[in-house]
């Protein structure tokens, strides 16, 4: 059984070193790449003011959070939910940094990578789509994931959207646009028209193309628990 947790947080601001705090945690469970319906969702009272810039992003106010629990009151339930799973996070250093800071402030310091495997979908997307926008909205557009309800950021909503994006990115189905003109791709791994004998001529891939193919297969293989079907080499 492969248990994964899609995790997202909302915070009072961007800089954990300035004692900004988590105000919402959203986690959604996947088992063998299928949504189970199990989730962990909690709003938190940060005991500090939320930056106006942050409110403009997630719409969460101090007034709304004043009767919500503190992080220390939910830390054990959160840890029980995520422990031993693979965490799927977009821009993982941000969320992991805030979570480890909160556990340290709650006198329970820990290193999440010792408890969970961590998969950063932003890093993965940048390797798949270098030089392109890879924020969550851009990925939704690229992979045709519906984010029409995302007027504001929200940890649980964003976790669900990220889950759909993650499954689309890592499902072993990479969109190869065969309609594009490949005539300027060097020697290329492509099929020419028939020669004078009526036989197809298949040109071998260049060394650079083989390296690129191997790297792409490794990315897919790592993300899909060894289910990449295009492996041509043992990694």
**Same-domain status, 142 and 40:** yes
**Same-domain status, 231 and 158:** no
**Same-domain status, 115 and 49:** yes
**Same-domain status, 90 and 187:** no
Listed residues 154, 170, 186: the one ending a domain: 170
H-assigned helices in the chain: 52-58, 62-65, 71-82, 92-105, 112-115, 121-128, 136-142, 155-170, 207-223
- How many separate domains does the chain show? 2
**Same-domain status, 181 and 166:** no
Q: Answer whether 0.75 is exceeded by the pTM.
A: no
User: What are the residue numbers of the active site?
Assistant: 153
Listed residues 147, 170, 193: the one ending a domain: 170
DSSP assignment string, 63-110: HHHTTSPPHHHHHHHHHHHHTTSEEEETTHHHHHHHHHHHHHHTT---
**Same-domain status, 117 and 201:** no
Report the CATH number that the domain containing residue 109 is assigned in CATH. Answer: 3.30.420.10
pLDDT (tens place) for every residue of the chain, 235 residues total? 999 999 999 999 999 999 999 999 999 999 999 999 999 999 999 999 999 999 999 999 999 999 999 999 999 999 999 999 999 999 999 999 999 999 999 999 999 999 999 999 999 999 999 999 999 999 999 999 998 888 779 999 999 999 999 999 998 434 333 334 444 444 333 344 445 555 555 566 677 767 767 777 776 666 666 666 555 444 4
Listed residues 170, 202, 220: the one ending a domain: 170
Residue 199, domain extent:
177-235
**Same-domain status, 185 and 163:** no
**Same-domain status, 127 and 229:** no
């Amino acid at each position: 059984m492969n248990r994964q947790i899609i995790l997202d947080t909302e915070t009072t601001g961007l800089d954990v070193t300035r004692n900004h705090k988590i105000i919402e945690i959203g986690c959604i469970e996947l088992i063998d790449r299928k949504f189970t319906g199990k989730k962990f969702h909690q709003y938190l009272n940060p005991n500090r003011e939320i930056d106006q810039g942050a409110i403009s992003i997630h719409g969460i106010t101090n007034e709304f959070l004043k009767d919500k629990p503190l992080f220390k009151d939910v830390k054990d339930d959160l840890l029980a939910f995520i422990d031993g799973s693979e965490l799927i996070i977009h821009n993982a250093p941000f969320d992991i940094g805030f979570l480890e800071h909160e556990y340290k402030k709650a006198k329970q310091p820990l290193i999440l990578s010792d408890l969970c495997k961590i998969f950063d979908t932003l890093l993965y997307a940048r390797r798949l789509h270098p030089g392109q926008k890879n924020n969550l909205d851009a990925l939704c557009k690229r992979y045709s994931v519906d984010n029409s309800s995302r007027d504001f950021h929200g940890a649980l909503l964003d976790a669900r959207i990220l889950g759909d994006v993650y499954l689309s990115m890592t499902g072993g189905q990479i969109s190869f646009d065969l309609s594009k003109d490949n005539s300027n791709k060097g020697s290329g791994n492509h099929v020419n028209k028939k020669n004078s004998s009526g036989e197809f001529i298949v040109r071998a891939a260049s060394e650079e193309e083989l390296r690129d193919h191997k790297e792409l297969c490794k990315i897919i293989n790592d993300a899909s628990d060894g289910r990449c079907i295009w492996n041509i080499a043992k990694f």
